[in-house]
Amino acid sequence: MKRILCVVETAYRGTQEEQDDAVLWFSHALKNGGGDVGILLRGNAVNYAVSTQDPAGLVIGKFSIEHPANPNKDLLKMKQAGMPIHVVREDTEERGIAPDSLTQEFELISRRALPGLFAQYDQVWHW
Amino acid sequence: MMAKTLTVCIMEPPYESANSTTSMRIIDAALQKGINVNVFAYEGAVSLTVKDQKPHPNPVHGTSVEEEKHPTTRQLVAGLFELAKEKGVKLDWINCGLCVDERGAGNWIEGPRRGGPGDFHKWVQESNATLVIPTK
Amino acid sequence: MGRYVMIESRDPYESGDVSYFYNLAADLAAAGEQVTLFLVQNGALAARKDAKGDPLGGVLKSRIEVLADSFALRERGIQDSERHPSVKSAEIGDLVDHIMAEDGAKVLWH
């Protein structure tokens, strides 16, 4: 079976209306269907690794968004389901994200190590 | 020799990005070369095939509908299906069902079918190459 | 040795993130992978030889084959004489050929 790495780089795109991050959802669906899928968070998507996110409470007109996406929690579930979750260290540092605010279950990886990570997969989908 | 197969995933809604145009150029080029193509339309891309799309005149240019010949994306996709038929290769186009439902984009042209991530994964495992064209 | 077809659609002056993709291409090449970088859409704007800061300099030093979509060049009025001599003009069909050349290519779009 082809092993797939999904590189996620755009955070919070439509996550209120969709109540999911579309790429994380898709990747998890592939895993649920028997796929072998890993995740690499880079760019502003490294913020998904921050453990204290609170997306709740938006009301637009009369409509309350009841179950907005919590990408951090979704990634934790994906990790628990056996999906490797990698986070580009330098991208967290650029954004001033404190290391102890990151979910510890996710693996920090340096940009220099990306070729080696990519080599572990048959396909690399850059979303 | 058996034809090769390329699987493509697209996400852009119509008329918003050059990604849609380039993705269709790639699909066209592959079909022209006798390559079978699978297209998984995810999120906004499911609106590329909506039958209700209508070309419009251009009041700034002063052209009528007929003069403007405005290409709708459904016409471009229909043209790709015709090309595949002419070349004797397969164009298999799946619109992601949940994405269709939330967008009300279910009235599509002849050719595409409804499906989900499992279909895409099957294609990926069976194809010679896969290209994911995201949105931003 | 793996094979990578990397497609850059964005202008390096519009998005600081494009340098990440160029650097990734160079790192992959340095790791011994075979890398082709194909510029499409506004990514072709980097193909002018007089582009400030020589955005493709690092990539071109890395033995990466850099191709630019001929339609994107034409659409943007980038003449052959303006194009960086190490960036080749190519057809979209050439991109398909690169993707399909052998099974197992990793194809990345940015």
3-state SS track over chain A: CCEEEEEECCCCCCHHHHCCCHHHHHHHHHHHCCCEEEEEECHHHHHHHECCCCCCCCEECCEECCCCCCHHHHHHHHHHCCCCEEEEHHHHHHCCCCHHHECCCCEEECHHHHHHHHHCCCEEEEC
- Please determine, for residue A63, whether its predicted confidence score (pLDDT) is greater than 90: no
Testing the interface with C: which of B21, B24, B128, B132 to mutate, by most C Cβ within 10 A?
Answer: B128
What does the alpha-carbon distance between residue C82 and residue B118 come to, in Å, rounded to a whole number? Answer: 47
- A106 CA: distance to closest CA in chain B (Å): 24
Average pLDDT over residues B12-22: 93
- Minimal Cα distance from A112: which residue of C? C27
Beginning with the edge strand found earlier in the chain, give each strand of the sheet holding B5-10 in spatial order: B113-115, B91-96, B36-41, B5-10, B129-133
What type of residue sits at position A104? Q
What percentage of residues in chain A have a pLDDT greater than 90?
Answer: 77
Q: B78: burial class by Cβ within 10 Å (0-12, 13-18, 19+)?
A: middle
ipTM of the complex: 0.97
CB C47, CB C41: distance < 8 Å: no
Tell me whether residues B29 and C92 touch, CB distance under 8 A.
yes
CB C58, CB C84: distance < 8 Å: no
What does the alpha-carbon distance between residue A122 and residue B3 come to, in Å, rounded to a whole number? Answer: 22
Tell me whether residues A125 and B9 touch, CB distance under 8 A.
yes
In tens digits, what is the pLDDT along chain C, a chain of 110 residues?
899 999 999 999 988 899 999 999 999 999 999 999 999 999 999 999 999 999 999 999 998 999 999 999 999 899 999 999 999 999 999 999 999 998 889 999 99
What does the alpha-carbon distance between residue A36 and residue A28 come to, in Å, rounded to a whole number? Answer: 10
In this predicted structure, what is the pLDDT of residue C45?
92
In this predicted structure, what is the pLDDT of residue B10?
98
Tell me whether residues B18 and C107 touch, CB distance under 8 A.
no
* Residues of A in Cβ contact (< 8 Å) with C10: none
Collapsed DSSP state (helix, strand, coil) of residue B6: strand
Question: Is A114 within 8 Å of chain C by CB?
Answer: yes
Testing the interface with A: which of C106, C107, C109, C110 to mutate, by most A Cβ within 10 A?
Answer: C106
Q: Residue B30: which pLDDT band, with cuts at 50, 70 and 90? A: very high
- B46 CA: distance to closest CA in chain C (Å): 20
What does the alpha-carbon distance between residue B12 and residue B4 come to, in Å, rounded to a whole number? Answer: 25
Tell me whether residues B42 and A125 touch, CB distance under 8 A.
no
Length of chain A: 127
What does the alpha-carbon distance between residue B130 and residue A59 come to, in Å, rounded to a whole number? Answer: 40
What does the alpha-carbon distance between residue C99 and residue B127 come to, in Å, rounded to a whole number? Answer: 12
What does the alpha-carbon distance between residue A122 and residue A88 come to, in Å, rounded to a whole number? Answer: 20
What percentage of residues in chain B have a pLDDT greater than 70?
Answer: 100
What does the alpha-carbon distance between residue B4 and residue A122 come to, in Å, rounded to a whole number? Answer: 18
Tell me whether residues A126 and C33 touch, CB distance under 8 A.
no
Question: Is B128 within 8 Å of chain C by CB?
Answer: yes
Q: Residue A60: which pLDDT band, with cuts at 50, 70 and 90? A: confident
